[in-house]
Amino acid sequence: MFANFLNVSIPGRAVTGGLIGVNLVNLREFGKGNYRQLDDYAFGSGGMLFAAPQLKAALDSAIQNHESESKPFVVFPSPQGTLISQEIIETLSHHEHVIIICGHYEGIDERFIERYVDLEVSVGDCVITGGEIPAMMIVDSMSRLVPGVVGKNKAVIEDSFYRGMLDNPNYTRPAMWEGLEVPDVLLSGNAGKINHWRRRVASERTLTRRPDLISRASIREYLSDSVNIAVIAETSNVNLDGLYELSRAYSLGRPYIIAGSHELRAEMKTRYPEAKVKGRLPECKEDVLVIKIFAGARVNSNHSLEIKRRCLEHDGAILFVFSENEDSLERITEGISGYIYERDMNIPLNIKIGISLDKLLGKR
């Protein structure tokens, strides 16, 4: 089963080019008796299971024949495992030596799993003959993340699930086929408009088909280029150190600091010269989504996942508003309210802002 897989397409090129190494271990070589027996009847009735002693012998051989001294990471594809995801594949790709155990029949002895398996993974809620096909899928997914395996690294980054979102639809020639046209924007030659269209359609597709992905998705690149923070500062004790650095880290515009008195504005300009210090919130046009972020849950406030969904649905500028005094947020009439935590957290405002941005925008 593995012979063709390891000699064709992307995995084949990766192996041939020495970018990845795949060693196949034939379990039959470690079977017992004249028939090279690997399996036996399950105690208490049931089907056939791979026996622990034979599996241990094969595992020891795989470890001894690997040149690296690093501890291998052992994976067992099984229906009882964690549903495999891009995050799991990325984690596996950072291990120098991964061993995949291919089960069969009813599985393998649980004692072997408890002692030697680091991670059980499932490829979905279905039954297949054995672990070979999941193993191929894991090798294929991991190999794509090795530099040089895929021609353009950008292609890997833009794949579905890499940022937690689905990919945008793609088209090729002819521009008209069976009465269906390619979207005009893709024929315009305007790179800015094309990128905007792709982000918007990818967001719509994810929200419609896989809304469950939003909780772990990195959404910043799918939003408008105009996203800003505004902080309402009512006293000189407020700590906003790092506010500008946070804005840069999440590709946001220069932050606003809103201070009511002339004296406080003068102090804020001195302490935070990179920020835009104003006497009131910037005038928000109709296409600006204003989001007031509370530290704790409040009546009629939206959960952070709902805020992410609203952001993805909005095709325009976004302004996140924070304050050390939540009464000042409630006095803002426009926009929607959202909360990040179930209860207030007694930590400085600048740290709350950092946690909130990470939870909402998801920087990878």
- In three-state form (DSSP H/G/I as H, E/B as E, the rest C), the secondary structure along 22-89 is CCCCCHHHHCECCCCECEEECCCCCCEEECHHHHHHHHHHHHHCCCCCCCCEEEEEEEEEEECCHHHH
118 an active-site residue? no
CA angle 247, 321, 298 (to 5 degrees): 130
Kindly report whether the peptide bond that precedes residue 255 is cis, defined as omega within 30 degrees of 0: no
CB contact at 8 A, 199 and 221: yes
Give me the catalytic one of 29, 60, 87, 106. 106
Segment holding 127, helix H or strand E: none
Residue type at position 24: L
Question: Which residues on adjacent β-strands are paired with residue 180?
Answer: 177
Q: Across the chain, which distance is largest between two alpha carbons, in Å?
A: 92
Give me the catalytic one of 13, 72, 79, 90. 79
What is the full DSSP assignment across 217-238?
A: ---GGGS-S-EEEEEEE-STT-
Tokens of 145: 């993340």
Task: Give the whole-angstrom CA distance, residue 19 versus residue 140.
Answer: 13
144 an active-site residue? yes
Residue type at position 180: L
79 an active-site residue? yes
Long-range contacts of 347-355 (CB under 8 A, 24+ apart): 348/239, 349/231, 349/238, 349/239, 349/240, 349/322, 349/323, 349/324, 350/239, 350/240, 350/241, 350/242, 350/243, 350/246, 352/295, 352/322, 353/229, 353/231, 353/243, 353/246, 353/322, 354/242, 354/246
Q: Look at residues 332, 254, 260 and name the one whose alpha carbon lies nearest to residue 293.
A: 332
Task: Give the whole-angstrom CA distance, residue 323 versus residue 256.
Answer: 12
CB contact at 8 A, 215 and 305: yes
Give me the catalytic one of 11, 77, 109, 144. 144
Give me the catalytic one of 120, 159, 167, 204. 159
CB contact at 8 A, 104 and 50: yes
Please identify every residue annotated as catalytic.
79, 106, 144, 159
